[in-house]
Structure 1
């Protein structure tokens, strides 16, 4: 791989409609995750850890929060010209329209491929939580003399009906694509599972450029629906088995093939539970493969008292006497007042939960104030009158006033919080 010139396009323009109300004022990749990250940090960290550092982030819907995050958190090297993460909105170079699909998004920026003249182009999504050494996928691509390689996740046959399925032979060469099939084709090495497309691709650059120009002439806009099925008839397409990927630092108790699509509120909530516990399914502590994010400069958490079990506390949080916190994640500069009870909750940045409030299975978005004595998560019918409640019973409180900061206790409105 060291002799190859690789550039990456990260598709970060998704609306995330099923993550409402968390995506009311932001795109899906910029939604916070865990105690200090945003969803987009995972794909960017995988690329950088894999020594792919020429990265274009293609944005579209409600992109300002994502643009600000990248500006503050993802300056790789101001000295080395080829190492950067750059945000690219729709350029409208091929017409007066936004990105019409995944392939159209790259087509509108085909000049960037021609400018860099890479051997390979990585096209990855920005909506998932996972670790991946992309160098191993590149090596597989080269060994198979592939024109296109698609990352594939083994899933049980009973679950494969909800995915785009890849039918491949024992060497990984793709034979067919099946979109949410009633009868998925099993993996050749495991009849109980099928290959689900992860939406992550490695292209030979010349093949990609030619395919995009042909797609544009034909009015085609999407990789999965148009470009890849057409290439399958004339080129060598392979499925890379994600289960064979070995990331350094993964511990025995972790799920080594961890990959989560945070497409719904319930999936988002369950993924947060995966990072908790003495032996979490997905351990965020891995110095050998770090997940990078903002260089927040605020102080450490301050715990004045209370009872805290199996929870994560981010920087500058404040926990008061009598609080009881269980199986929860408290993000930066949140304040938990006296006698608050939190169970299975995600409390985001700059939120304050006032004295005596009781919350269970609740996501509180940023800049919120939960009133003293309020009870949320115990009566779904009552909660639905005020908030969004998911099918799985997770109550979501949408973002509050962006000029409210929980630790701005002077009440002047001018102190705010630390910059991310």
Structure 2
């Protein structure tokens, strides 16, 4: 693993995650109360023994840069690093990244250094836990030029993925982007008996989807990118590689979620509150790393809390009811507040900080007394007054707006720094 370098793609504009990505990149979106999405791929790399990590960024990257700088500092003896490679003008290229493959092409100088034999390419907006050592073993055993991670999926999921066709040895022979017709599906259907031989219970999952996780021989990647002008790995580089190179499948059968939409983000967060969550944050051997903040314990006084997660530094007053929700760092909930089926991201600073009292309405940071919030995502640093009701009324469309609030996928989103006066109702 010492000869592996990892490139984590910071993603594009993230329009499907708006307004959460209005002033931050997708990998910088908060996750599980105290993490950010970028912490997932970086933690997977560290747990797998990969110590040389580059994060390629382009849009709204200031908060992401700050988080990485404050979170990941290796000792001088390991030779490890997590560094930002931002889009920039050079003598070779004057424009921004035009796609995933183009982003890597513009940074080839960093993977052409001595001691790099393999290049791992990851997305910065997925939730999963994977040992990349196992993927490298698959790659080496097969003598592959490229290895791609695949996940078994059901028929109803295929229209959202690139589906892989492969032979009995796992060598990839074809790739079909988002098949929809029965004729297309027939071409890429996997024999359940083959999955059983791999130790995977198909459970009706007869297709293998690309997870967008690639492992290249370094020289193969350099050649593929320097001899073509392809912009995208999934749509162009990968299909071409199948025709000209040995591309191997690495099967994965754990939890994996692409956090690409408001609905997916909302569900992935609330799934963590389950008694037996599909993705566990407390695996001692493979922890999720993040920025150390040195916050005090949360203070909870006479609240009723069920099936929820509460992050550090919170202040929860008497008679508060929290059910099936996630409460982020430094959140302040006044008396008789009700939070149901919601994700609160918390705040960047305590209410006593001078930056928390700057709104002209004089509404203090946090959730005011008597406020009710149901099925919502509340971004950071909001100032919500007393007796506010934020609840989707019957018949409201799944995508719409009301005042400063927006609705996406049937979920109310309260943007960062929103101020709502006393008595405001959705």
Kept after mapping to 2: 8 A contact 1:360/1:377: yes
Residue 173 of structure 1 corresponds to: 171
The CA deviation string for residues 43-82 of structure 1, in whole angstroms up to 9 with x for no partner, is 00000100001000000100001000001111122x1363
Q: 1:99 to 1:378 in 2, by over 3 A?
A: closer
Q: Which residue of 1 aligns with 2:390?
A: 376
Residue in 2 aligned with 1:143? 141
Which residue number corresponds to residue 307 of structure 2? Answer: 310
- DSSP-derived class of the 2:387 partner: coil
Where in structure 1 are there 5+ consecutive unaligned residues?
244-256, 403-420
Partner of 1:292: helix, strand, or coil? Answer: coil
Moved more, 121-130 or 276-285: 276-285
**1:229 equivalenced with 2:233 (yes/no):** no
Q: Are 2:11 and 2:123, in contact at CA under 8 Å, matched by a contact in 1? A: no
Paired with 1:155 and 1:372, the residues of 2 have a C-alpha distance of 46
Match of residue 241, structure 1, among 219, 229, 251: 251
Distance in 2 (CA, whole Å) between partners of 1:33 and 1:395 is 17
| Deviations 1:93-143, CA, capped at 9 Å, x for gaps | 332101111111111111111124411111111110110001000000000
Aligned equivalent of 2:412, options 371, 395, 404: 395
Provide the rounded CA distance (Å) in 1 between the counterparts of 2:222 and 2:115.
Answer: 11
Are 2:301 and 2:318, in contact at CA under 8 Å, matched by a contact in 1?
A: yes
1:179-229 alpha-carbon deviations (Å, 9 max, x no partner)? 1112331123258421111111000011111111101xxx32221222222
The answer for the alignment partner of 2:226 in structure 1 is 213
* Alpha-carbon offset, residue 16 of structure 1: 1.4
Task: Tell me which residue corresponds to 2:70.
Answer: 72
Q: Say which of 92, 105, 108 aligns to 1:107.
A: 105
Runs of 4+ in structure 1 over 3 Å off: 380-384
Superimposed CA distance per residue, residues 126-166 of structure 1 (whole angstroms, 9 cap, x where no aligned partner): 11011000100000000000000001111112211221111
**Of 193, 207, 210, which aligns to 2:206?**
193
CA change 1:306–1:237 in 2 (3 A) is same
Q: Does 1:345 align with 2:342?
A: yes
Inter-CA distance 102–400: structure 2 relative to 1 (3 Å threshold): same
d(CA) in 1 for partners of 2:205, 2:304: 45
Other structure's SS at 2:263 match:
helix
1:223-279 per-position Cα deviation (integer Å, ceiling 9, x unaligned): 122222222222100111112xxxxxxxxxxxxx11011111111111012111222
Gaps of 5+ in 2: 196-203, 348-364, 420-426
Given that residues 167 and 176 in structure 1 are in contact (C-alpha distance below 8 angstroms), is that contact kept between their aligned partners in structure 2?
Answer: yes
Compared CA separation, residues 320 and 378, structure 1 to 2 (3 A):
same
Aligned counterpart in structure 2 of residue 361 of structure 1, from 362, 375, 390? 375
State the match for 2:56 in structure 1.
Answer: 58
Query: Is 1:14–1:29's contact at 8 Å kept on the other side of the alignment?
Result: no
Q: Deviation digits for residues 18-65 of structure 1, max 9, x if unmatched? A: 111100000111000102110110000000100001000000100001
What SS does structure 2 have at the residue aligned with 1:165?
strand
Task: Kindly indicate whether the alpha-carbon contact (under 8 Å) linking 2:332 and 2:366 is maintained by their aligned counterparts in 1.
Answer: yes
Corresponding residue SS for 1:207 = helix
In the alignment, is the contact (CA less than 8 A) between 1:91 and 1:109 conserved in 2? no
Q: What secondary structure sits across from 2:160 in the alignment?
A: coil
- Say how many residue pairs are matched: 382
Distance 2:107 2:314 in 1: 42
2:94 paired residue number: 96
Matched position secondary structure for 2:69: helix
8 Å contact kept, 2:383–2:418:
no
Residue 226 to residue 117, structure 1, CA distance change in 2 (3 Å): farther
> What is the Cα deviation at residue 401 of structure 1?
6.7
Give the Cα separation in 2 of the matches to 1:35 and 1:81.
Answer: 30
Instruction: After TM superposition, give the deviation of residue 13 of structure 1 in Å.
Output: 3.2
112, 128, 134: which one pairs with 2:132? 134
| Match in the other structure for 1:27 | 25
Aligned to 2:215: 202
Distance 1:97 1:326 in 2: 48
1:344-372 C-alpha deviation (Å, 9 max, x unpaired): 11111225110000010111100001111
Deviates more, 1:195-204 or 1:13-22: 13-22
Which has the larger displacement, 283-292 or 45-54? Answer: 283-292
In structure 1, the partner of 2:271 is 274
CA distance in 1, matches of 2:77, 2:190: 43
